Amino acid sequence: METANIVGMTKHNPDTSLDSLQIGIGIIGSGIRLQSILGQLLPLASGLQVKAIYDPDDSAVATCKERFAPEAAVCSGVEELCAREDVDWVFIGSWNCQHAEQAIAAMKAGKHVFCEKPLALTTDEALAMQQAQQESGCTFALGLVLRYSPLYRAIHSAIASGQIGNVLSFEFNETLGFRHGGYIHGNWRRHSKYAGPHILEKCCHDIDLALWFIDSLPLKVASFGGLNFFLPKNQHHQERIGNGPNGEVPFQHFVRYGNSNPFRTDKDIIDNQVAILEFANGVRASFHTNCLSGIPERRFYIIGDEGALRADAITGQLELRRIGWDEPTLLRQPIQGGSHAGSDAPMCRELAECMAGQRPPAASINEGMRSLIVAQGIDTAMQTGQVVELSPFYEAAGLV
């Protein structure tokens, strides 16, 4: 286990092959997401082993143990897990409000961290994480999984290599299928004190991609949004649609995990929102999110002075056409579609390589901090009805 505990492990060590890895993993929050990641990560190297689990939900611990590590220790808290010598990396898949405290505890104990998105709920929390990372020298990988998608990497490279010229403006969206939207409004994510606002909890991915593609930070944001559908008066839509072929209740995905009826729950998040953004480099954008779409999309439509690019994660399609009389439309289907655009497997592969010291993570604290600030700004703009200036937040976070 010693190799991974060396702080310098974060520095490139291309000679460490995945076959020779011996890394103990501690799991904090053994829910759906981390179990999905472990299912793809652990088969990559037999020396990647779950040594300890902490989750206040006994059933989540039991499933995780049964699936991945029958021998793993069950810990009674974060402190106990982080104190274990056989744990080199701590994986955090708890509720968003717990990420900061748990990640700081892990790094203070000298453990490298993989933490699910969003980074944190407030800039102060994010700054404390940054400080803990700098003081410990530990690696911090953030689960902004779409950064690993071949589709999104193709978009980034098309823009960076000038294929559409200088970007002028763009649209992007995340309109969720009705089951996914109902799931959000039925579980812990419906309370912003646990998850943050929807624009952070769900759309931090899309914001992060926009900032990465445009290579600039938005200085001004405005937004409107509200809760208009997941209300008791609309429950009749469940009867209208009827149960699915296998008895699935509409709008109630993952019922087995105890999710409540999204029409009846108390909540303080929105189910539809629009935002506009103006970037420091002059680029302008509009964003649209909705939790009950009949045609789910995760789409970017980006216009440059030499061409345009349109891509949708759900279908996996990417079109690019340069401005001109007879320019062909370049249509590429780089990978399967889906809300994560085929990014889970490459993220796990690169995470294993990161754990081996072969590469840095594609997303870490700075990326999480940027998307957090922009999401917070958009939420404040929606709450107040005012245009929000973001420069002071970037300055406070040392990003400019």
Ligand X SMILES: NC(=O)c1ccc[n+]([C@@H]2O[C@H](COP(=O)([O-])OP(=O)(O)OC[C@H]3O[C@@H](n4cnc5c(N)ncnc54)[C@H](O)[C@@H]3O)[C@@H](O)[C@H]2O)c1
Q: Cβ 131 to ligand X, closest distance in Å? A: 21
Q: Cβ 145 to ligand X, closest distance in Å? A: 4
- Among the candidate windows 25-33, 39-47, 131-139, 267-275, which touches ligand X by CB under 6 A? 25-33
Taking the least distance from each CB to ligand X, the nearer of 199 and 303 is: 199
Q: Of 291, 289, 117, 307, whose CA–CA distance to 299 is shortest?
A: 289
Element (H, E) at 302: strand 299-304
Q: Cβ 171 to ligand X, closest distance in Å? A: 22
Q: List binders of ligand X among 156-215 (CB under 6 A).
A: 201
Q: List binders of ligand X among 338-397 (CB under 6 A).
A: 340
Residue 289 binding ligand X, by CB under 6 A: no
For residue 321, give the 3-state DSSP assignment. strand
Taking the least distance from each CB to ligand X, the nearer of 112 and 340 is: 340
Near ligand X by CB under 6 A: residue from 24, 26, 143, 368: 143
Q: Are 343 and 145 in contact (CB under 8 A)?
A: yes
Near ligand X by CB under 6 A: residue from 24, 29, 182, 346: 29
Taking the least distance from each CB to ligand X, the nearer of 38 and 167 is: 38
Taking the least distance from each CB to ligand X, the nearer of 112 and 205 is: 205
Task: At 65, list the tokens.
Answer: 């143990």
Taking the least distance from each CB to ligand X, the nearer of 57 and 395 is: 57
Q: Cβ 52 to ligand X, closest distance in Å? A: 12
Question: From CA 96, how far away is CA 143, in angstroms rounded?
Answer: 12
Taking the least distance from each CB to ligand X, the nearer of 95 and 263 is: 95
- Taking residues 105 to 134 in sequence order and writing x for each that binds ligand X by CB under 6 A, - otherwise, the string is -----------xx-----------------
Q: Cβ 98 to ligand X, closest distance in Å? A: 5
Q: List binders of ligand X among 209-248 (CB under 6 A).
A: none
Task: At 212, list the tokens.
Answer: 């990465």
* Exposure class string for 6-23: b at 16+ Cβ within 10 A, else e: eeebbeeeeebebeebeb
Closest residue to ligand X using C-beta atoms: 31
Q: Cβ 101 to ligand X, closest distance in Å? A: 9
One-character DSSP codes across 240-277? HH---TT-PPTT-TTGGGTPPPTTT------SEEEEEE
Near ligand X by CB under 6 A: residue from 9, 28, 283, 313: 28
Q: List binders of ligand X among 40-99 (CB under 6 A).
A: 54-57, 60, 93-96, 98
Beta bridge partners of 171: 286, 301
One-character DSSP codes across 53-74? EE-S-HHHHHHHHHHH-TTPEE
Q: Cβ 29 to ligand X, closest distance in Å? A: 3
Q: Are 361 and 142 in contact (CB under 8 A)?
A: yes
Question: From CA 91, how far away is CA 113, in angstroms rounded?
Answer: 6
Q: Of 96, 124, 100, whose CA–CA distance to 113 is shortest?
A: 100
Q: φ and ψ at 350, to 5 degrees?
A: -70, -30
Taking the least distance from each CB to ligand X, the nearer of 257 and 284 is: 257
Residue count, binding to ligand X (CB under 6 A): 22
Question: From CA 61, how far away is CA 19, in angstroms rounded?
Answer: 28
Q: Cβ 30 to ligand X, closest distance in Å? A: 6
Question: From CA 103, how far away is CA 95, in angstroms rounded?
Answer: 12
Q: Of 400, 34, 6, 28, whose CA–CA distance to 219 is shortest?
A: 400
Beta bridge partners of 7: none
Taking the least distance from each CB to ligand X, the nearer of 219 and 341 is: 341
Q: Cβ 82 to ligand X, closest distance in Å? A: 12
Q: Of 206, 207, 189, 203, whose CA–CA distance to 269 is shortest?
A: 189
Taking the least distance from each CB to ligand X, the nearer of 143 and 368 is: 143
For residue 131, give the 3-state DSSP assignment. helix
- Among the candidate windows 26-34, 65-73, 283-291, 386-394, which touches ligand X by CB under 6 A? 26-34
Binding residues for ligand X, per CB under 6 A?
28-33, 54-57, 60, 93-96, 98, 116-117, 143, 145, 201, 340
